Amino acid sequence: MKQILQYLFNHNTLTRAEAKAILIEIAQNKFNENEVTSFVTVFLMRTITLEELEGFREALLQLAKPVNLGDDLVDIVGTGGDGKNTFNISTLASFIVAGAGQKVAKHGNYGVSAISGSSNVLEELGYQFKDNEADLRNDLEKANLCFLHAPLFHPALKSVAPLRKGLGLRTFFNILGPLVNPAQPEFSMIGIYSLEIARLYQYLLQKKNMQFMLVHALDGYDEISLTGDTKIFDRNGENIFSAEELDFKNIEAETISGGKTQAESAEIFFQILKGNGSWEQNAVVLANAAKALEMTQKSGAYSACLDLAKESLYSGNALKCLELLRN
């Protein structure tokens, strides 16, 4: 590792093969904690390259516990690390999409740089994580949604979990998370905290046989925040959408705060799903869910997808998906 670190400290970058090999060795605990921390720190000081991102992704997918959950699946996920402390918007949007009839294979983890990640909030609400394919398929069948808790499927992440928690900073593992869903869903809506990383994702995902939508709010959120304009990338290019173009109006940042504790975050989540959310909370979740439904190209234009999302939330169908998962 010392040679690798010296190579990187001299402003060199890794090839795809080198990146893959090193991450596999990290997962096999071949290096000590100080060496791994130094390696991770390199990517806090500069942007990861496309080849490095591809190599790290290949390593995690190769090491992942395999799972086959069928076709026509959607994931709605964010890189995290935007420092905005919003409530769990992408996870709520996932339940609304499931309540609208689209099957969701949600990939998530505990929060590292945020108070409450998707795994935190679902665990707080009583959901039991599962790593058995039959159980996950059963969840999909009854609730239209299953949740893949990343540490159960990615042994490589277990080995660096204490390090990530100790650093408490956004690392390249945040960037990798949305790219390594072991179910390999056909559709991925990914929120990204920076335009630079969004373009890397775009280059990488254009090579893959999947539909994707990359979302970045221009004021720094890794989701459609409605606090300003949103840039969206897909296979056809990129566009900027105002809140008005998404059939809403601009909102203030404090209206979508995620609370100060995990329990508070879970309560906000549950109240929104029960239909007790504020106009601003509902608006943000509905805009993200509608865009995810639009991506599947099965539910018509955005306006029709927004109607489906509203029906899912306000009828209680989205809440029913959570209740079915918890039983």
Residue range 81-130, pLDDT digits in tens: 777 888 999 999 999 999 999 999 999 988 866 678 899 999 999 999 99
Looking at residue 158, its pLDDT comes to 75
Work out the mean pLDDT of the chain and round it to a whole number: 92
Q: What phi and psi, each to the nearest 5 degrees, are found at residue 17?
A: -65, -40
Average pLDDT over residues 166-195: 88
Coil/strand/helix, residue 229 = coil
Q: Does domain 74-326 have CATH number 3.40.1030.10?
A: yes
pLDDT of residue 112: 66
The answer to whether the beta carbons of residues 91 and 191 sit under 8 Å apart is no
Q: 320: Cβ–Cβ under 8 A, 6 or more apart, which residues?
A: 99, 143
Annotated domain spans of the chain: 2-63, 74-326
Would you say 272 and 281 are in contact if contact means Cβ atoms under 8 Å apart? Answer: yes
Q: 2-63 — its CATH code?
A: 1.20.970.10
Model confidence pLDDT, tens digit, residues 1-28:
889 999 999 999 999 999 999 999 988 8
Does residue 200 have a pLDDT over 70? yes
The per-residue pLDDT for range 210-263, each reduced to its tens digit, is 899 999 999 999 999 999 999 999 988 999 999 999 999 999 999 999 888 989
Q: How far apart are CA 45 and CA 57, in angstroms?
A: 20
Buried b (16+ CB within 10 A) or exposed e, 151-190: ebbbebbebbbebbeebeebbbbbbbbbbbbbbbbbbbbb
Q: Looking at the whole model, is its pTM more than 0.85?
A: yes
Give the per-residue pLDDT at 33.
86
Residues 131-157 have pLDDT tens digits of 999 999 999 999 999 999 998 999 777
